[in-house]
Amino acid sequence: MQTFPLFLSLQGRRALIVGGGDAAARKAELLLKAGAQVSLVAGTVGGEIAQLIAEGHISWAGCNFHDGELDGMSLVIVATEDEAEQARVSAAAQKRCVPVNVVDRPALSSFIMPAIVDRSPVTIAISTGGAAPALARRVRAEIERSLPAALGRLARFADVFREQVRRTLVVPRARRRFWDRVFEGRVGELALAGDEIGARRELIRLLDGVRNETASTGMVHLVGAGPGDPDLLTLKAHRLLQRADVVVYDRLVSDEVLSMARRDAERVYVGKRRANHCVPQQEINDRLVALARAGKSVVRLKGGDPFVFGRGGEEVEALVKAGIAVEVVPGVTAALGCASSAGIPLTHRDHAQACVLVTGHLKDGTVNLDWEMLSRPRQTVVIYMGVGALKQIASQLIAHGLPPSTPVALIEHGTTERERRVVGTLATIEGQAQRAILTGPTLCMVGEVVGLALSRDQEFSFESRMGL
C-alpha cells in the first residue's frame, strides 16, 4: 500500500484552490459538495469558476499566491499549469503540514485525489497512487454499475437504528451478525425499494427475535485457499472470509489471500513448515473446537484444497467427534493451479493418460512411496512437499525404470507474482534445485508433459529466467 486511505471531514473548514481553469472548477465542485469553504487564487478566471464566484459559492482571494493564503487552510489543491507556481505552493503547504494536491503531479502532492463513487453517505474512493488515473476511473465505472443508486438510502436507514441495536446487542459479534442479516435479507430489500415503514417493521421484528435467541455453538468452515493467487478463490470462500470471526491459517496461505478476510477478524497463525510444525496438529484441532464452542464463526484457511494433503480429513474427524458443525469448501489444489500457471498439461493424449498426486513427506517423516507404481510410463506424477527429499525421489524413480532424461519441473510460489520455475531432468534436478535455493512452497512435477511445455516456452528454465 503506497498511500494511506482516509476520509477527511471538510464540513465548515477552509480549502484553497490555486488556478482558474476547468480542472480548478471540477475540484471546487467536489470541495463544495463536501461542505468546504473554498477560496481561489488565480490570475484569470472564466467559465464555471467565474460563475461560482459570481453566485457567491467560492471567494476570490486575488491573482497571486503568497504564503499567508495558507493561514487557516485545511487543504490545498493546485490546478494551475505554471510549473514554478506548482512547486512553490506545494513546498509552502508541506512546510506547514497542510495537505496539498497538485493536479497530475503526484511527486509534488502529499495526498492523491481519488476517483469517487458517491452514494452519500456511502463514499467509495479508488486510487492508483497517481500511477494510472485512467485505470482508477475505469474501476469507478465498474463499481458504479454494480451498486444500486439507492445504497445511500439503506445507509441512512441503518443509522436511525444504530444506537438502538447497540443497546440491545451488547456483544460486538452479535451486532455484526445482526447487521449482516439486515443488509442481506428482506429489511435491506425493503429499504432499497423505498418502503421505509415496512423496513422498520421488519427490522424491529428481527431485533426482537435476535434478543431472545440463546447463545449457540459456532461453526468451522475448512476453506481451500488455492495455490496463492487470490483470484482463484471460490466465491463461497471469499464470502466466508468476509463473515468470519476468526481465521486460522498456516504458512501455505499467501498474504494476498489472507488479506481477503474481514479486517477486524481475529487471525490465528498455526505455522506448519516442512519438518517444523509451529503448532502440533492435535493442538490445532483443539483450538478449532474451542473457538467454535465460544460461539465464533471460524474459517480454517488451508493452502490448495483442504482434502488434498491438507490434513482436512483429520480436522473434520476431530470436529465431528466434538459435536461441532463443520463445512468443507473446496479450493484449487496446487497441482492444478501450478500446472496451469506453468503451462504444463497434467494429461495429454500423446504423453500422459493418468495423473498421480503423492506427498513427498509422510506422517513419520519417511518417503516410503510405491516407487514401482510411480515409475510407470505415460503418466504425470505430482509430488507435494518433495523438495527436501528430491535426491531420494529422483534416484528411486530412476532405479524403478524411469529414464534419467525424464523431464522434471519444480514450481515455487505457483500462481503468484513470486513464482519461480526450475526445469531439468531426473538426473539434474537435485543440483538445479540447490542452485535455485527454493525456500517457499514448491511443487514437483515429473513426466513427458513437462518437456512438452518446455519445448513450447523456453522461459520455463530457471537459468534463462534468472539470467544465469
Q: Do residues 117 and 148 make contact, with C-beta atoms less than 8 angstroms apart?
A: no
Alpha-carbon span 48 to 263, nearest angstrom: 42
Is 272 one of the catalytic residues? Answer: yes
Asked if residue 61 belongs to a known ligand binding site, the reply is: no
Q: Which of the following is catalytic: 272, 286, 364, 391?
A: 272
Asked if residue 333 belongs to a known ligand binding site, the reply is: yes
Asked if residue 44 belongs to a known ligand binding site, the reply is: yes
Question: CA of 94: how far to CAs of 2, 62, 64, 78, 350, in Å?
Answer: 18, 22, 19, 13, 66
Q: Which of the following is catalytic: 250, 296, 302, 391?
A: 250
Q: Which residues pair with 47 in a beta bridge?
A: none
The three cell numbers of residue 147 are: 451498486
Asked if residue 439 belongs to a known ligand binding site, the reply is: no
Residue 245 in 3-state DSSP? coil
Alpha-carbon span 289 to 392, nearest angstrom: 38
Three-state SS sequence of 309-336: CCCHHHHHHHHHHCCCEEEEECCCCHHH
Alpha-carbon span 298 to 17, nearest angstrom: 50
Residue 158 in 3-state DSSP? helix
Asked if residue 18 belongs to a known ligand binding site, the reply is: no
Asked if residue 23 belongs to a known ligand binding site, the reply is: yes
Cis peptide before 121 (omega within 30 of 0): yes
The three cell numbers of residue 211 are: 434478543
**Other residues' Cβ atoms within 10 Å of the Cβ of residue 468:** 9
Asked if residue 370 belongs to a known ligand binding site, the reply is: no
Asked if residue 385 belongs to a known ligand binding site, the reply is: yes
Asked if residue 22 belongs to a known ligand binding site, the reply is: yes
Which residues are documented as binding site? 22-23, 43-44, 227, 303-305, 308, 333-334, 385, 414
Which residues are documented as binding site for NAD(+)? 22-23, 43-44
Which residues are documented as binding site for S-adenosyl-L-methionine? 227, 303-305, 308, 333-334, 385, 414
Q: Which residues are catalytic?
A: 250, 272
